[in-house]
A = this chain, B = another copy of it.
Amino acid sequence: MRLTVYLAGEIHSEWRSEIKAKAQALKLPIDFVGPMEDHDRSDGIGEEILGEQPNAVFRDAAASSFNNLRTEVLLKKADIVVALLGEKYRQWNTAMDASAAIAMNKPLILIRPEELHHPLKELSEKANVTVATVDQAVKALSYIFE
């Protein structure tokens, strides 16, 4: 039995590579999916496909239609969602993905440093599992197969 896990979170650090490496080391039968990690490509995909847009707001709207389409398709294929929220960046789209997972009845593992427990208290309470590191998230996933 293989599981598909969607990794929601910022696309600036290498945290996804870290999760995938750790999961592979444990030989977990998991396929990871996630958003476009090339930040400029992600922001520019709207104009890349549709051509120049009137201003920044419309540029963002166009890009978001393609990014949200991608997220929706992959999120639907996921059995579990892992959402990482950290100190930097607003990450409203990550909170959005995490909440969509809960409302779609997909189990959610929330990774957040303990210092962020207060602004994330509601999301944490609704998530199935809240951990503080990528390492703990991998253990939560591994436990499913043990």
Contact of A96 among B50, B73, B123, B140 (CB under 8 A): B123
Seed contacts A61-B125, A96-B122; 13 additional CB < 8 Å A-B pairs: A48-B139, A49-B136, A50-B132, A57-B114, A57-B117, A63-B121, A69-B107, A73-B80, A76-B79, A93-B121, A96-B126, A102-B103, A103-B103
Which A residues are within 8 Å of any B CB, using their own CB?
1, 3-4, 31, 33, 36, 41, 45, 48-50, 54-58, 60-61, 63-74, 76-77, 79-80, 85, 89-93, 95-100, 102-104, 107, 109, 114, 117-126, 128-132, 136, 139-140, 143-144, 146
Given that A50-B131, A54-B58, A92-B92 are known contacts, is A68 also in contact with B122, CB under 8 Å in the complex? yes
Identical copies of this chain, number? 8
Q: Is the CB of B126 within 8 A of A68?
A: yes
- How many Å from the CB of A76 to the closest CB on chain B? 7
Contact of A73 among B67, B73, B79, B117 (CB under 8 A): B79
Task: Write out the residue numbers on chain B whose beta carbons fall within 8 Å of the beta carbon of A70.
Answer: 143-144
Contact of A140 among B69, B97, B130, B131 (CB under 8 A): B69
